[in-house]
Structure 1
């Protein structure tokens, strides 16, 4: 019988480090990890949930799901398969157990290589259509993680952008919104959104980019964004905690696939952060729950927002 040699702790720590590159609401990085032999437990950090924007913890679990997919991807790229359990015991979001060696496919290698290059891009995109071939790959990426990705029609795009603008105004009027935004905006942290990453304001007010620079003394630049952005809607068949984690995994696979194909992405979070607006994003007869709205296109390079060192997110065994 062949003896299976598990990956070293150093390899698993490197996989956790890769997972910390995942996207999260306001770059809050609300995850923690614990390594025990071949097992990595993934947790949601309650101190890093945004209570004003995310009172139910839905977006926090989407963020943790994105980190979970990146962890699984890193393990696969390192040459191992793994098993996944969601909510295996109280307090644990996911348990990833490394099983046996297996060579990574070209697709896995490409997705893993895209991890350090995936950045939220809040800049204007080129006035170019995204090829249908790439849209099909993004749909397949979502489907592989148990979610559905739809490309908005022109009429649907206009409706979604209008709802996003309405939701943005509702959020800005919500008590505590500006204070919470301010806590996660700054240039001296290992998390949050630096002012330089806020991006310009859309001069035509077509694309509702969240204004991370509104509390800064620096003047906000204005720029003309693409008039007809490509809008994607990510949805799941259910809306329970496991579905939120599943949505996060699908989201990260979609984002990394887009990065691999040379595409830029921007989450448009406002319409899913207001429950009354979120319910309007899909026909109720579809039987799906919208989890995220994305803007997709070709953009100039975006900067790398800060990440917490792995020592801060890795709990003791």
Structure 2
């Protein structure tokens, strides 16, 4: 049975959910508050038709929001109940309140990391992330509370070089596509102009003589306005795979991914997604697990780097679909 749905509970859950990472910071979610819980909805107006036509990356983003919602409620002393619902074009998940329960220390640490998590597109320092920390990140993916079906693995030098080559190939293809360039420009803007998309201060520098291929969000700017920098010669890469490749698998992967990202934040590890190769179906197929059952969902570059600013977020009031009798309550909570 669900617990009470209070203004504080609503604010806690929604604030955490909208802080989740998303492809191009599109924030493709909406939330409906009803019957003592939250419905998590896909906002297809935020879809990326060029790089994400099947909405795989959108559902990963939605899974990350679901995980943040569940985590924040657990840290506040609620037992979050993820109620099974058919995953469709609109509603993707439902989270309700269960019995009260004292949160574990690990739960509180992860929840406290939600507002501190960043995507770091800067060059990383030479120090490697220790094997023990990498193992902790891999364990985090398997323990996301979304059921079995996600695994994170570190790439050895052969696998790393193969992924880097695929990423450069994908990046070159995308840069030559006028539709891709228009999509990038549509979702970027000078810092402070909008509440979604990638702001100019988050673009990061262009790689100079580097093995790393960083997505260039400054394609709409003259080349001389973009600084260059040297990135790592041998970057550390992780790959997240899921058992299956449907919407439910994507949602599970998004939850696993977010637990990994928050664990990395707690440990002071910088992370950058490298998804270009996963946006090309022919290249992505080459990264399927050897048995053909585990599908690649995310590639992560990890290391230690300088701090970076947070990405903008839409206000809570722009992300909810309350019933008429709830509009005053949600507006007040949104502040």
Structure 1 residues 86 and 198: alpha-carbon distance in aligned structure 2, compared to 1, 3 A threshold = farther
Structure 1 residues 81 and 153: alpha-carbon distance in aligned structure 2, compared to 1, 3 A threshold = same
> Given the two structures, how large is their TM-score scaled by the length of structure 2?
0.91
Alignment of 1:1-317 (within 5 A): 6-88=4-86, 90=88, 91-145=90-144, 146=148, 147-187=150-190, 188-217=193-222, 219-317=225-323
- Contact 1:167–1:270 under 8 Å retained in 2: yes
In structure 1, list runs of 5 or more residues that go unmatched. Answer: none
- Contact 1:149–1:235 under 8 Å retained in 2: yes
- What is the CA-CA distance between 1:4 and the residue it aligns to? 8.4
Separation in 2, partners of 1:285, 1:139: 20
- What is the CA-CA distance between 1:174 and the residue it aligns to? 3.1
- Contact 1:238–1:288 under 8 Å retained in 2: yes
Separation in 1, partners of 2:225, 2:236: 28
* Matched position secondary structure for 1:100: strand
- Contact 2:120–2:308 under 8 Å retained in 1: yes
* Matched position secondary structure for 1:315: coil
Structure 1 residues 89 and 261: alpha-carbon distance in aligned structure 2, compared to 1, 3 A threshold = closer
In structure 2, list runs of 5 or more residues that go unmatched. Answer: 324-335
Separation in 1, partners of 2:17, 2:234: 33
- What is the CA-CA distance between 1:286 and the residue it aligns to? 4.9
- Contact 1:88–1:95 under 8 Å retained in 2: no
- How many residue pairs match? The answer is 315
- Contact 1:9–1:37 under 8 Å retained in 2: no
- What is the CA-CA distance between 1:37 and the residue it aligns to? 4.1
- What is the CA-CA distance between 1:71 and the residue it aligns to? 0.5
* Residue deviations 1:39-62 (CA, integer Å, cap 9, x gap): 100011010010111000111000
> Given the two structures, how large is their TM-score scaled by the length of structure 1?
0.96
- Contact 1:86–1:93 under 8 Å retained in 2: no
- Contact 2:3–2:36 under 8 Å retained in 1: no
- What is the CA-CA distance between 1:287 and the residue it aligns to? 1.9
- Contact 1:148–1:235 under 8 Å retained in 2: yes
- Contact 1:122–1:266 under 8 Å retained in 2: yes
* Displaced runs of 4 or more, over 6 A: none
